[in-house]
Amino acid sequence: MTVNINSDAGLTVTNQNAVSVGSTSTINNYGALSVSGDNSAGMFASSTGNTLNNQGTISTQGYQGYGLQANGGDNTFINGGMIETQGEGGNGINTALGGGINDTITNNNVIHVSGLNANGIYLGQAANVTNSATGVITSDQSRGIVATAGGIIDNQSQIYALRDGIYSYYGVATVTNTGSITSVNESGIQFDSNDAATVINSGNITGGNGVAVRFLGADNQFIWQNSGSITGSVIMGDGNDTALLKNLNSTQLLPGIIFDGGLGNDSLTLDHTFASDPQRFINWESLALSNGSALTLNNPLVLGDSGSLTGSVTIDASSSLLAGGQSAATILALSNHSAVTVRNAGTLDLTNGSNSTADQLTINGNYVGLNGTLKLQSVLNGDNSPSDRLIISGGQASGTTQIQVTNVGGTGVATQQNGILLVDAINGGTTTTTAFNLAGGSVSAGAYDYFLFRGGAGSSDSWFLRNTLITVPPVTPPVVPPTSPVTPPVTPPLIPPITTPTSPPVTHSVPLYRQEIPLYQALAPLVLNMGLTQVGTFHQRQGNQSLLSSANSDVPASWTRILGTHSEQSWSGSTSPSFDGSSEGFQVGQDLYSAQYAEGGRDNAGIFYGYSRVKGDVKGFILGQADAFAGNITLNGNSFGGYWTHQWNNQAYVDAVLMQTWMNGSLESGRGRSADAVGKLWSASLESGYPLPVSEHWSIEPQAQMAVQRMLLDDSNDGVSSIQYSDDTLKTGRVGARLEGSYGELLQRIQPYLNINVWHNFDNTSSVNLSGDPVTAEEGNTSLEVGVGVAATLNKNVSFYSSASHSSDLSSTDLNDYTGSVGMRVIW
């Protein structure tokens, strides 16, 4: 049967239902139904399988005057119009106790109830309720929806009530809210049942009593995802409850919202959620951070309830616990006698928020690294420098965690004791030997690489950064000669024998210089060597005194030479750097003045340009290893200079050179860290020789030379520290002799020679300052050079000369140089 009330029709009744049906019937109201009197309804179905569809208006007055009512099951209630009740207990839609099984209720418009104890919708048995996007349920003096036996409630719009917005007791219930649920005086949603209940919220829930959602018992579930807001706490009640906060941030998770797990084994999961104020999470045994979540520990995180006493935190690979800028963040159990467990596959971050190096994260219990990360900020200086810190109190740190250290203003200072504390095991806390490792293996500051060490004096389970190794020489136990047994006296001595105390073994500190330092130390001596090679000697540049004389003796000449060296050299100093490489270059010169005097003497003066390139590998004392590969050096030098040579008629000479070199290059370590090398070099040399004939064709020529060089290198930076080179002055002296032969005529002559020289670099210390911490190299040394050469005059205009030599060290450093040059002089 179908009953239709048209839109232009109306029905007014007293003390009875306006329209009643039995079973499997339909009532469609498009008009106006008005009912007065007690226990009367606008539409009433006494049995099952009915549809009550209101698209008009229904108003009731009187005790328990309902808008729509049905006593049977499998009934459908639809409100697309207006339902208004004014009497006590006058529910807008009512399904009777004992009926209502499988009922479906949909509200698409307005339900307004104003009487005492009058609820918007009252479910006598479990039912499916939808308050659609256009539906509004208002209860002026009672509840929005009451479910007496559970059910499924989907609110897409507005529920507003003086008391609970939704109230459920007995039966399994599920509430989904994408709209708003507001209570003036009580909870937004309340469950008074020991049956399981679920709330899925992405809307707004407001509790007038400070509780947004309250569960009673059983294994309840709360999900808040994507959007919305909650005003008031979420109380999960007893039982093994679960809660999920998904895709939320501080806009939704406002201060003051409490999530209380209650008694039982309760689990809370943050899924792509950014939260702070961990004190809001009460009575949880398990807290999981997943899918890029972050929890800021701006106050203590307390785990467990009065039954469990403790709990655990699990951080997945994409999530973080943020403890930066908080000074002292703590994760602890509810009971002081219980230990928490933190399992970290993600990040413990103490670097967020500021560049403070005083942040601490204390875990009162166990920490398990699941290939996770610990981020810390430290001042990389000496012992006890400020640093963020992870504290393991009373538990064990195990697994594997990589520590990432950010240097905050540290300039690198040698550690002499324990170093810089990063992980502190206190109150009986322990750590396994593989619990922590340092990202990249080391972190650099100034001249040093800092490494992670487990243990120190009084702290065998703590972890430190150090840039030195502390070595203790082995102690040989004394040999105790055998003694004959002695019969003990009857009366023991009153005073025990006094033993002489032994001195503790002397410890030695081995600095862990970083890989780049030998490069910087080798730079200055290599630049000075490059300058000295360009200056050379008179015979290396000009060939021979006789080549300056010719048939056209007053005509200025042009000259050029090419030169090359393979060098193996070392220097003493902080890292004992050594160089193995080569240099090559050339010079082009032009006499600007040439004069021959009647008594046989002459003067030549001119200018020249030179180019040098030095390239090779550098080794040194790195990370406690001698002669370890540091990297390579490439230098380019462009030199401009002038020279003056005076000869006497006996071929004795004085030669002076003044030169400036502009140098640039690069230093690159084996791990790819690089720095520029730019600077200037001034070189001056004064040399003299006096040939003494020993036969018709041979002479010995004693020689002496003094060279002074002044080097200024620009400051640089390799990304770890600034690099400041000291202004360096090196004085070099040479004494030696040439055994020279001479065959042929003036214009076609060959002059072979042997030479031997002792070179001495007077003591000089070059210094490199790396962000305040200097390292030095000693440039003083004495070497022996043995060489051969030849000068040949081909004709009156062209002459040729070449030389080759080997140099070896006579002092405490190593030197093995092979040098050769070829030159030509042309008179135009």
CB 706 within 8 A of CB 730: no
pLDDT at 553: 58
Quote the CA–CA distance of 510 and 572 in Å, as a whole number: 16
* H or E element in which residue 585 lies: strand 578-596
List, in order, residues 6 or more apart from 224 with CB less than 8 Å away.
Answer: 201, 202, 230, 243, 244, 245, 246, 248, 252
Return the residue matching tokens 């106006």. 32
58 has a pLDDT exceeding 50? yes
CB neighbours of residue 334 within 10 Å: 19
User: Would you state the pLDDT for residue 507?
Assistant: 56
The pLDDT value given to residue 733: 97
Beta strands in 550-697 (DSSP E): 557-570, 572-573, 578-596, 602-622, 625-647, 653-669, 674-689, 692-693
| Nearest-angstrom CA–CA distance, 605 and 444 | 52
The string of DSSP codes covering 700-712 is EEEEEEEEEEEEE
Residue 476 has pLDDT above 60, yes or no: no
d(C-alpha 467, C-alpha 606), whole Å? 54
Of 624, 563, 620, 545, nearest to 791 (Cα)?
A: 545
For residue 148, pLDDT beyond 80: yes
Count CB atoms within 10 A of the CB of residue 319: 24
Mean pLDDT (the chain) is: 92
pLDDT (0 to 100) of residue 723: 94
Q: What is the pLDDT of residue 471?
A: 64
pLDDT band at 747 (very low <50, low <70, confident <90, very high): confident
pLDDT at position 692: 97
> What is the reported pLDDT for 508?
67
pLDDT at position 718 over 60? yes
Q: Do residues 44 and 70 make contact, with C-beta atoms less than 8 angstroms apart?
A: yes
Check whether 421 has a pLDDT greater than 50.
Answer: yes
Taking the C-alpha atoms of residue 100 and residue 423, their distance in angstroms, rounded to an integer, is: 63
| The two structure tokens encoding residue 284 | 């949880």
CB–CB of 197/215 below 8 Å? yes
Stretch 341-368: mean pLDDT, rounded? 96
What are the angstrom distances between the C-alpha of 129 and each of 97, 108, 123, 492, 730? 16, 11, 9, 97, 95
The pLDDT, as a whole number, for residue 495 is 32
Strands (DSSP E) contained in 420-516 are 420-426, 430-431, 436-438, 443-445, 448-454, 463-466, 468-471, 508-511
As a whole number of angstroms, the distance between CA 122 and CA 100 comes to 10
CA dist 414 and 71 (Å) reads 87
pLDDT of residue 98: 63
Domains of the chain: 517-827 (2.40.128.130)
The pair of three-digit structure tokens given for residue 521, joined into one six-digit string: 């130390």
Q: Say yes or no to pLDDT of 131 above 90.
A: yes
Give the list of residues 6+ apart from residue 278 with CB closer than 8 angstroms, or none.
295, 296, 297, 298, 299, 300, 301, 302
Whole-angstrom distance, CA of residue 687 vs CA of residue 538: 7
Q: Identify which has the larger pLDDT, 382 or 600.
A: 382
Residue 228, Ramachandran bin (φ over 0: left; ψ between -120 and 50: alpha; else beta): left
550-579 burial code (b ≥16 CB/10 A, e <16): beeeeebbebbbebbbebebbbbbbbbbbb
Helix, strand or coil, per DSSP, at residue 433 = coil
Task: Please give the DSSP secondary-structure letter assigned to residue 345.
Answer: S
- Render pLDDT for 499-531 as a digit per residue (tens, 0 to 9): 333 334 445 678 999 999 999 999 999 999 999
The model's pTM is 0.85
**Which residue from 163, 165, 217, 222 is spatially nearest to 188, judged by alpha carbons?**
165
* 3-state SS class at 784: strand
What's the rounded mean pLDDT across residues 475-486?
48
**Helical H segments across 440-573, by residue range:** 517-535, 538-542
The predicted pLDDT at position 620 comes to: 95
pLDDT for 239-272, tens place per residue? 999 999 999 999 999 998 999 999 999 999 999 9
Mean pLDDT over residues 412-424, rounded?
Answer: 95
* pLDDT of 482 higher than 70: no
What one-character DSSP code corresponds to residue 134? T
Please give the average per-residue pLDDT across 447-475, as a whole number: 85
Of the chain, the percentage scoring pLDDT greater than 90 comes to 84
Q: Tell me: the pLDDT tens digits for 525-562?
A: 999 999 999 999 999 999 998 888 754 556 779 999 99
Find how far residue 77's CA is from the centre of its chain: 61
- Binned at pLDDT 50, 70 and 90, residue 813 comes out as confident
- Residue 417 contacts residue 386 (beta carbons within 8 Å): no
In percent, the amount of the chain with pLDDT more than 70 equals 94
- Look at 176 and 325; give whichever has higher pLDDT: 176
Of 33-37, 398-402, 490-494, least confident by mean pLDDT is 490-494
One-letter amino acid of 28: N
Position 100 confidence tier, pLDDT thresholds 50, 70, 90: low
Provide the 8-state DSSP code for 280: G
pLDDT-derived band at 348 (thresholds 50, 70, 90) equals: very high
Residue 807 has pLDDT above 60, yes or no: yes
